[in-house]
Amino acid sequence: MRSESLSLSDLFKFDYFSCLRSDYAKNDCSVCIDLCPEDAMVFDRSRLTLDAKKCTGCAACVGGCPTEALSSELFDPNRFAVEFPGRSGNMISCKENIPCLGALSVEHLITIAIRSESEVVCDLFHCKECPVNSNTLVLKSIENAIIEAQDFLDAAGIKKRISAVTEVSQSETDIGRRGLLKKLAGIASEIGEERTLGETASRVDGRVPLKRVLLKNSLKTVSEDFEATALSGSPFSFVADKKIDAQTCTNCQECAMFCPTGALSLLQDNSGIIFQSGKCIACGICDDICRPGSIGTVAGIDLVDFAFDRMQLLVKHKLEICEECKVAFPYRGGEMLCDRCRDFRDNFSDIFTLAKDME
Ligand code: SF4
Ligand code: SF4
Ligand code: SF4
């Protein structure tokens, strides 16, 4: 497993190799930069850099990162998602138990809702006055995540609820931002070296974000209650179902090589591509990289495929050896020439003939 963990400040760590921009130079993910209220993050060419003087450690960017490349020293959203359902109270609040609700992704929210006995309530009462939400983007992002989490639960027929409140009484527990960070630091030191979550062992692949593993584990516990297994309608932001057009796919395999999570992989004999929606984070790298535009997204996902990491065969080619370059290629009838040699012959037929004559 690749890893290069760089400390960006006392509060944050950035795993360079987990960032989508490191996986594929043309990827334009900018979620963390867009969400940062302090403009503390910038990309210098493809490298993310953070101005530690500007960073306040609010963690608003952490939940938005699809790959968990960013992490906070004081707050572990995966640990929170596992432990919150066992605590007293059902409210997630920046005045009580979390630096900022932006630290939680849609996947965390669904996990928390599934594992909680009662409705989970997100306290957004303080967002309007909060400096972290100065450009309103953080609040919008949190609201969208809550809506999407509930939409996902509804589409699956899972009878759990997660909602937002924008009006609550200012409680005596308002300990302020510094106080809360101190409190979280205290909790972190109590936890000490114990960093392992129970679910870590079931991580299928080191590159699949842990929040995804937690979500799949949560879904498995309620799979008997699924009312619908085919989730159609609007796509979810954190997963995609894929298809490949066998007629145009050249079997170049670049989609599988660049897929950051291993959601796309090769058949053992290299004759086709397999897909697991349970590992897909909808980053779009495969769509961008496919030169003939053969790979695309299918609306909706199959919930059972997703939760149980079932494999789908997207394309299988009949491979033959090209008469010119002697490399295996997807054969669709006609001449025994791969696309590259056929294009070369069509565009440079004179050179092609000369090369043949010289043999
Ligand atoms: S949100 Fe995550 S993947 Fe996207 S640019 Fe920031 S660190 Fe990279
Ligand atoms: S889908 Fe596109 S990128 Fe993937 S193997 Fe086929 S041609 Fe190559
Ligand atoms: S299958 Fe495509 S969209 Fe999904 S994680 Fe892999 S590269 Fe990204």
The response to whether residue 32 sits with its C-beta less than 6 Å from ligand 3 reads no
Q: Whose CA is nearest to atom 2 of ligand 2?
A: 290
- The residue-averaged pLDDT of 279-290 equals 96
- Reported confidence tier of residue 83, pLDDT bands at 50, 70, 90: very high
C-alpha 72 – ligand 1 centre gap (Å): 14
pLDDT reading at 104 higher than 90: yes
- The residue-averaged pLDDT of 15-39 equals 87
- Reported confidence tier of residue 197, pLDDT bands at 50, 70, 90: very low
Average pLDDT, the chain: 83
- Same domain? For 25 and 77 the reply is yes
Question: Both tokens of residue 274?
Answer: 């397999």
Q: Whose CA is nearest to atom 3 of ligand 2?
A: 290
- Same domain? For 179 and 37 the reply is yes
Instruction: Find the range with the poorest average confidence among 182-196, 213-227, 292-306.
Output: 182-196
The response to whether residue 184 sits with its C-beta less than 6 Å from ligand 1 reads no
Residues 6+ apart with CB under 8 A from 343: none
Q: Which atom of ligand 2 is nearest to the CA of 252?
A: 8
- Same domain? For 11 and 154 the reply is yes
- Reported confidence tier of residue 283, pLDDT bands at 50, 70, 90: very high
Q: Which domain holds residue 165?
A: 5-221
Sign of CA dihedral 95, 99, 104, 108: negative
- Pocket probe for ligand 1: among 21, 23, 26, 35, the residue whose CB has the most ligand atoms within 8 Å is 21
Instruction: Find the range with the poorest average confidence among 70-79, 103-112, 180-189, 197-206.
Output: 197-206
- Same domain? For 284 and 217 the reply is no
- Same domain? For 59 and 146 the reply is yes
Is the pLDDT higher at 357 or at 81? 81
Is the pLDDT higher at 197 or at 280? 280
- Same domain? For 247 and 340 the reply is no
- Same domain? For 35 and 91 the reply is yes
Total number of domains constituting the chain: 3
- Pocket probe for ligand 3: among 205, 212, 279, 285, the residue whose CB has the most ligand atoms within 8 Å is 285
CATH number at residue 247: 3.30.70.20
CA nearest neighbour of 122 among 151, 153, 144: 144
| Confidence at residue 359, expressed as pLDDT on a 0 to 100 scale | 66
pLDDT reading at 13 higher than 70: yes
| Confidence at residue 198, expressed as pLDDT on a 0 to 100 scale | 37
- The residue-averaged pLDDT of 308-323 equals 95
The response to whether residue 82 sits with its C-beta less than 6 Å from ligand 3 reads no
| Confidence at residue 27, expressed as pLDDT on a 0 to 100 scale | 87
- Same domain? For 97 and 242 the reply is no
C-alpha–C-alpha distance, residues 79 and 108, integer Å: 10
pLDDT reading at 263 higher than 50: yes
- Same domain? For 265 and 338 the reply is no
Q: Which atom of ligand 3 is nearest to the CA of 264?
A: 1
- Structural contact between residues 239 and 263, judged by C-beta atoms closer than 8 angstroms: no
| Confidence at residue 254, expressed as pLDDT on a 0 to 100 scale | 95
- Same domain? For 187 and 298 the reply is no
Query: In sequence order, which ranges of the chain are alpha helices (DSSP H)?
Result: 20-23, 31-35, 77-83, 106-115, 137-156, 176-191, 210-221, 254-258, 285-289, 303-307, 339-347, 349-358
- The residue-averaged pLDDT of 130-142 equals 87
Task: Read off the pTM.
Answer: 0.85
- The residue-averaged pLDDT of 36-59 equals 80
- Reported confidence tier of residue 336, pLDDT bands at 50, 70, 90: very high
- Same domain? For 251 and 323 the reply is no
Give me the amino acid identity at 176: G
- Same domain? For 60 and 207 the reply is yes
